[in-house]
Amino acid sequence: MIRNIIVAGALLGMSTAAVAGPAEGNWEIVFTNMGANLSITDGDTVAWGGVRAGKFLWGSNHEFGGSANVYISDATETLGIGGFYRHNWATVSSQKWWYAGVDLDIGDVEEAGDSLWLRPHVGHKWMLTDDVAFDLDAGVRLDLDNSDNDPTIAARWGITVFFK
């Protein structure tokens, strides 16, 4: 059910008119791997994935958005949500650019916020076509609920679709 909602929202966003590069008022949807994690843990296959939607405000530089994340193992499916801010060093005609930002994610909304993470990050985006880009970023994930957990390096890659 959770996956169907995320996929439906992403397809709806892609069905609108596409644009080249970010501009004020544009939206982007990013299909992301949420931390380069596909593993076998205690005999269970574990995968993370997510969809992020952001809107460019105040030109092509400031982007605010939200995310829905799915954590899947052989035994469970968990939904996480979050919000983010990114500063993009881009113009409407940029074909590649750097960005930096911060994510605030709740790891398990079904368990009343099992984990709360803050993730400052920096990344780079490359336009593949007029409306599709590839992005790669790295950041430090800080567990705000448990000070005993050490910060971890979290890399992400994603496919971005821009639209109005």
CA 85 vs. chain centroid, Å, equals 11
Q: What predicted TM-score, i.e. pTM, was given to this entire model?
A: 0.75
Mean pLDDT score, 54-83: 84
pLDDT of 11 strictly over 60: no
Nearest to 50 by CA among 28, 29, 31, 78: 31
| H or E element at residue 4 | helix 2-14
Model pLDDT, residue 69:
80
Domains in the chain with CATH codes: 2-163 (2.40.160.20)
What pLDDT digit, counting tens, does each position of 82-119 carry?
Answer: 999 999 998 888 899 999 999 998 877 666 556 788 99
Render pLDDT for 36-53 as a digit per residue (tens, 0 to 9): 454 455 565 666 778 889
The length of the chain in residues reads 164
